[in-house]
Structure 1
Amino acid sequence: MRVGAPPAPTGEARALEIALITGMSGSGKSVALHALEDAGYYCVDNLPPELLLPFVALEQRNGTSRVGIAMDVRSAASLPLLPQQLAVLRAQGVCLQMLFLDASTDTLVRRYSETRRSHPLTRTVAADQERALVQAIELERELLSELREQAHVIDSSIMRAAQLQAYVKAVISAPSTPLLLVFQSFAFKRGVPVDADFVFDVRMLPNPHYEPALRPLTGRDAPVADFLRAQEEVTRMFEDISRFLSGWLDTLARDRRSYVTVGIGCTGGQHRSVYLTEQLAAAFSRKWVTLTRHRELDAQSAVVNS
């Protein structure tokens, strides 16, 4: 299915930017593709991998500048072709961004139950209906594991559509760089984000939640920041995390890692993790392109604005 109208042919090839959306069925790939469309990408859903190179050549001849493509396990038989084709495109100088949409198995099962849709791999496993769905999801994870390793993973487990669209737009609009560094705060009580490459637990730090004047505020607010900045343990945690990341980011970039997501978790995702996420992003932005996400705060904002 094509999303959006193709541009008028110009008669000459131009540099092409490709955003490839892949990931788990039910994780929000169609929402991400519509975010690309809103950002001016010419989008195609469910393009068979064997058609990728001819399609790209055609769009280059048509003078298309930005293309969004969704591929997933619906093309399971030809997915093994994709890594080699992506290598060919990169060798041709095509600017390629890969986003992998993921969610917890419980979330995917719930979404399928709510929509009453069948998973594309359900027929390949023999079991009762609920067990077949879980088995299909696990099989899909296995089939897509190689693509996941190459992509920027986005955990949509507790994200609303508007949040997901906003984050996809932020990622694709980030400047081209050898490595994009994402700092994400979260609450352990709502689960560890599945898209985090590194997770740091800061629950042992002094908690502003127990200060009545600070409880309704967040780590973005000056009174909370002043409170935490005055705590020796918070400073030591910041320095320890900074030292660890500084020692490995260059190595990860040399290993052709395009994206690294760092999760900072506290109990409620409101104060300590938010403060440290902001501080770390500011510090590392001097050398790396950085993005910040606050999973719990963003979710609350989406509820208020919905």
Structure 2
Amino acid sequence: MRLLIISGRSGSGKSTALHVLEDVGFTCIDNLPASLLPTLIRQVRSHGDKSDSAYAVSIDARNDHADLKEFPDFVLALRQQGLDCQLLYFDADEGTLLKRFSETRRKHPLSNDQIDLRAAIDQESELLSPIASIADLTIDSSHLSLHQLRDMVKQRVAGREAPGMAVLFQSFGFKHGPATDCDLVFDVRCLPNPHWNNSLRPLTGQDPAVAEFLSSHQDVVDMLDDLESYLQRWLPKFADDNRSYMTIGIGCTGGQHRSVYITEQLYKRFEPRFGNVQLRHRELRND
């Protein structure tokens, strides 16, 4: 039995994730009271658990507050029993959540006559903090379109066909906000910037001219080799610690040139070494 626990703040993409998982064969249950999860697991096992059975269960802030506080201990107990159980946490920045609720005119589940939308979003974050702290994978949907979010869930979660750690290399631009869903973040803003070359400015790190410019600088070569050496040594340690997901962020100023190039090169170097290596450029809209 494979169990995915989906949680996160309202408006961050939980429902989209469940729809994607249902489309690929998961049995999905939305807004299950946390106290009923042990009963569900016992019921599945009593009917003869199949090794390829897959369930996705959404646990949100509408649960009893005491159950939310105790939930991390429950998840730990499940793992100690040998259950294939991962916890996915979806989130987005406050501005994005406010905009989404305004556009859809949905009512936040915690808002009422005394609690406005902004206060409800903050309260929800506090209630879910025990769950967020133990998440195997956090997905920040602030910069994702619906299509991109669906693709990410398919690739990172539904596409995990074999045990082992899934590695995502992601470029981003600091001026567009930090990469809050990364496990490791490397800042490459100290490298030569193609932005100041008029002929390279409209291009990206995926273009041969930019790659040629960057690879001609020894600092870029050294940075890339040092990052490879560090990751080659330490990624297996994370995998040995039973990590299911690892997100590595590479950031430059705008997320167009340096971070994209370094991320592309790291992906090429590590893709043959791990069973599930993925690539994403947060600021490139044709990604």
TM-score normalised by the chain length of structure 2: 0.86
Partner secondary structure for residue 119 of structure 1: coil
Q: Report the more deviating stretch, 56-65 or 255-264.
A: 56-65
Partner secondary structure for residue 62 of structure 2: helix
2:92 counterpart letter in structure 1: A
Task: Render the CA deviation track for 1:229-262: whole Å, top value 9, x for unaligned.
Answer: 2211111222333344445435544554433322
Distance in 2 between the 1:263 and 1:122 partners? 34
CA positional deviation for 1:178? 4.7
Distance in 2 between the 1:239 and 1:250 partners? 17
Structure 1 position 55 matched with structure 2 position 55: no
Alignment partner for residue 73 of structure 1, among 29, 50, 61?
61
Change (3 A) 1:197 1:114: same
Q: RMSD across aligned C-alpha pairs, in angstroms?
A: 2.5
Q: Report the more deviating stretch, 137-146 or 22-31.
A: 137-146
Alignment partner for residue 102 of structure 1, among 74, 84, 91?
91
Partner secondary structure for residue 219 of structure 1: coil
Which residue number corresponds to residue 226 of structure 2?
240
Task: Render the CA deviation track for 1:46-83: whole Å, top value 9, x for unaligned.
Answer: 01111112212333427661112111111143223422
Q: Tell me, which stretches of 5 or more residues in structure 2 are unaligned?
A: none
Paired residues of 2:69 and 2:130 also in contact (CA < 8 A): no
CA positional deviation for 1:113? 2.4
Alignment partner for residue 136 of structure 1, among 95, 104, 120?
120
Distance in 1 between the 2:27 and 2:39 partners? 16
1:290 counterpart letter in structure 2: V
Distance in 2 between the 1:242 and 1:149 partners? 28
Paired residues of 2:72 and 2:134 also in contact (CA < 8 A): no
Distance in 2 between the 1:175 and 1:221 partners? 32
Equivalences for residues 158-177 of structure 1 within 5 A: 158-172=143-157, 173-177=159-163
Which residue number corresponds to residue 290 of structure 1?
277
Structure 1 position 39 matched with structure 2 position 31: no
CA positional deviation for 1:263? 1.3
Q: Report the more deviating stretch, 113-122 or 241-250.
A: 241-250
CA positional deviation for 1:197? 2.4
Percent identical residues: 46
Structure 1 position 146 matched with structure 2 position 130: yes
2:228 counterpart letter in structure 1: S
Distance in 1 between the 2:126 and 2:162 partners? 30
Alignment partner for residue 268 of structure 1, among 254, 257, 270?
254
1:103 counterpart letter in structure 2: A
Which residue number corresponds to residue 258 of structure 1?
244
Which residue number corresponds to residue 227 of structure 1?
213
Alignment partner for residue 200 of structure 1, among 186, 189, 199?
186
TM-score normalised by the chain length of structure 1: 0.81
Which residue number corresponds to residue 7 of structure 1?
none
The structure with the largest helix share of the pair is 1
Distance in 2 between the 1:62 and 1:254 partners? 30
